[in-house]
Structure formats: structure tokens, C-alpha cells
Amino acid sequence: MAVTEIKTVVNSWNEWDPLKHIIVGRADGCCIPPSEPASDPKIPADSDMRGVHGPRSAEAVEKANAQLDNLTKILEQHGVRVDRPDPIDFNQDIGTPDWQHGSMFGCQPPRDVILTVGSEMLEATMSYRSRWFEYLCYRPLLQRFYDEDPKMRHEAAPKPRLTDASYKANYLSDDITIDERLEMVSRKDFVTTEEEPLFDAADCLRFGKDLVVQHGFTTNLKGIDWLQRHFPGLRVHAVNFPGDPYPIHIDATFTPLRPGLIINNPERRLPDEQRSFFQRNGWEIVNAARPAHNEPPPLCYSSVWLSMNVLMIDEKTVCAEASEVHQLDQLDSFGFNVIPIPFRDSYPFGGGLHCATTDVYREGDCQDYFPKQ
């Protein structure tokens, strides 16, 4: 059967069950948005992104799209149906009654926006103004899945107002040292306030009955509490990683590969008291291999740790970035069938192989991987 003929079923409970259907993002029209309260603390003072905004170059878009198309082709060769979002005109003024902003961002990273849990696809609140309307790129797909799968639940978390009350004013000054930043982060003093629930979908990891959610710049405690109330049958666990001076999105920090095995960014170690939950349930947490690169590509929001932003096709098969030789070796040493995929040209558009995808269907059901709570 051709992969395009795979029937629409929305079902995915974890990051490693056999993958049958996925969304892969697109780079078209992607912009670097003007600065805003949530994004400033993410961009280091010496970053090439400081003060830059506007559409990304046609050449960069073309290169990123070539890698996204290649990822699509490889997934299809592995029997996975792939659907793509519909980019909108990101380079336009946007606003609500509460705020105005100079542009949107893009739709390369569906993982940031859509959280699939079982038969539900949930649009995250998002926490950047520039990303408030990004869900529109996925609506044609989600509406189609809703029509085609009678069990699919299409949900949207309450849209946040994102007034200035949602952010700490002057959270970080340019001359703050990295040690001062780390000290604030270790106190869980983040740029977002607790004015309203906020979460990005890429702060969530799915482990069957348990959701593990990073508390950081893009997800606040009210967002985590909202997720727990929204999924009363699941157990939601807040985690944080004090070594990360820019804690946005969990998937370059803590990556489950198969039942019982997680790689953790050695610079962003899960604190001991949070580790014990995994350990008492027989999960091994191993330091991820060092990235092969000292710098991210130009005009990239993400860190070099996209090396560990891998996509599982099943619990024996993993897609990893082709130039990340140390990560490829480590995955090989764990016994995985490793598929190297060139992806660095796509990084600046919103991240790595996990970021650039979001699950629609993985075979398997909701398992309890953590009976000892």
C-alpha cells in the first residue's frame, strides 16, 4: 500500500512506538520576528540575531525546504505517511486588542505548536506574541483529520492574552553574566509570569500515562497545571534543568529513546530529586554525546544541542542529524538502527528533526511506564 493511502488515525502515546503518520514542517515565508518580551532573554547579547528581523533569504528558505523535503522522502521510504502544513503570510503586522507585533515566525517546527496525546491533537497556548497565530498553518490538516477519523479530538488550549503582565519587565539586562543567568534559572525565576496558563507543546514529552513537562521560559506552572486538569487520566510531572541559561523546549535537553532509556544533556542535568522518579521505575538516564559543532548555524535560535533532537521511527530506529558524528556513534552503541539525515540548513527555521515534526499516528496504546509514582 502506498503511504499516501494510509488511513487517517490519530493516536500517539509516546515518542518511540512505530510511526505511521507525521506532520513535517515547511520553511516557506519564515521570518525573524522583531524582538518581544518573551524572545529577548533567549537571544544572547552577542548573537547574530540581535537587532535583526524580517523575512529569511530566498536562498536559506530553499536550502531548508530541500532538507525538509528529503526528511519527508526518507520517512515515506520507511512506510510513514507525511502531511505538510499550509504556510500563511508571516511577514505582516499582527495584533489582538491587547498588543501589536511586526511579524509572525513560520511553520517549520510543528512540534512547538501541536501536542498529540492519544487521539487528541491539542493546539498549545504558545508564549510568544509572534507565534500566537501559528496554529492557523495546521488548521487545514487538523480539520481534515477530524473529518476522517471519527475518534479524533481537536482541542485548543485557551488563547493567552500575552499582555505585558505575562512577562517580567527587564527580566535580563544585556550585561548580566552567564552565572547570574544560571542562578536565576536554578531558582526557577523565568521571563514568563504566572498571569495565565502558558505552554509550548515542545516542552512536553509523552510517556504513555505520564506527561513530563519542562518549566522554563516558554511554559509556566499555570500551563502545567492546565495540562493536568485537561488530561485528568494522565499524570503530569514538572521538570526543570538548572544548567540551561535559555530553557525553552525540552527536546534538546532530555530525550527518551525507548522504554527505559533517556539521554540527558550533560550541561542541563536533571536534578537528583527529579531523577529518582525515573530511576525507581527502572529508567536509565545517560549523558548525551557532545555535539559535533561549536556553534549553531547563523541566525539560529537554538543551541548546538540540537544534536540530541532526534526522531524515533520505532524503538529500534532513530533519525539523527548527519553531521553529528558523536551522537550517531552513541546511538549506534545503544544498538539502534541509525538513519543519518542532513538537517543543519533547517535548524535556523525552528530546530532539529524532532522539532520539525509532530506525530499523528504511532501504533500502540497508553501504557504505564512509571508504576512507582
Let me know if 200 is a catalytic residue. yes
Per-residue contact flags (x/-) with ligand ABU for residues 151 to 180, judged by CB under 6 A = ------------------------------
Per-residue contact flags (x/-) with ligand ABU for residues 308 to 347, judged by CB under 6 A = ----------------------------------------
In the complex with ligand ABU, which residue's Cβ is closer, 171 or 370? 171
What CA–CA distances, in Å, run from 82 to 15, 20, 72, 79, 142?
Answer: 17, 9, 6, 9, 13
Let me know if 107 is a catalytic residue. no
Per-residue contact flags (x/-) with ligand ABU for residues 194 to 233, judged by CB under 6 A = --------x-------------------------------
The secondary structure of the chain in percent helix, strand, coil, rounded to multiples of 5, reads 25, 25, 50
Can residue 103 be called a binding residue for ligand ABU (CB under 6 A)?
no
- Choosing from 38, 355, 356, 360, the residue that interacts with ligand ABU (CB under 6 A) is 355
Selected range binding ligand ABU among 50-58, 210-218, 300-308, 365-373, rule: CB under 6 A: 300-308
Selected range binding ligand ABU among 43-51, 84-92, 208-216, 243-251, rule: CB under 6 A: 243-251
- HEC sequence for 271-333: CHHHHHHHHCCCCEEEECCCCCCCCCCCCCCCCHHHHHCCEEEECCEEEEECCCHHHHHHHHH
- Catalytic residue, chosen from 200, 203, 314, 359, is 200
Let me know if 210 is a catalytic residue. no
Rounded Cα gap, residues 132 and 109, in angstroms = 14
The three cell numbers locating residue 202:
515542545
Rounded Cα gap, residues 40 and 312, in angstroms = 32
Can residue 303 be called a binding residue for ligand ABU (CB under 6 A)?
yes
The position carrying cell 534538546 is 252
What is the gyration radius of the CA atoms in the chain, in angstroms?
19
Site residues, ligand ABU (CB under 6 A): 202, 248-249, 251-252, 302-303, 305, 351, 355
